[in-house]
Amino acid sequence: MSEQGKGSGSTTAGTPAPGSDTYKGWLFKWTNYLKGYQRRWFVLSNGLLSYYRTQAEMAHTCRGTINLATAHIDTEDACNIVLSSGGRTYHLKASTEVERQRWVTALELAKAKAIRMMNNQSGESASAYPIIIRLCPVP
């Protein structure tokens, strides 16, 4: 998996390593009209898309997490991705159409897998699976 240096403004995402469901890379996230799109480090793992200001921040501060099992994934144009989940909408931008398509493919695969896991677990006894809750500190 390739990752570009901190100074680069482009996104980089690679194919997950064999046996790994993790996908990481830089995307631009819409913040507000004053700051516009800001570069954020995104990590897709276990049906959750989490984002951070930097890679180093992963050790202590998660800025937000989106559960893909309940998210709607859409594209606006050649480089934009729109994620809607729980009444919130996230506007993301890749630096190229190819990068956007890689992310959309990874997101759709992760969503399908998360839905399958939820459906499989709904038929099992609740005690058979631990409940995992990921808390992101509020900045």
Domain boundaries of the chain, sorted by first residue: 23-122
Per-residue model confidence as pLDDT tens digits over 34-58: 999 999 999 999 999 999 999 999 9
Cβ partners under 8 Å of residue 98, min gap 6: none
CATH topology of domain 23-122: PH-domain like (2.30.29)
Residue 32: pLDDT band (50, 70, 90) is: very high
Average confidence score pLDDT of the chain: 82
The predicted structure's pLDDT at residue 7: 36
CA distances from 100 to 94, 95, 123, 128 (A): 5, 8, 35, 37
- Cβ–Cβ under 8 Å, residues 54 and 42: no
CB-count exposure of residue 66 (10 Å: 0-12, 13-18, 19+): buried
Retrieve residue 124's tokens.
């099992």
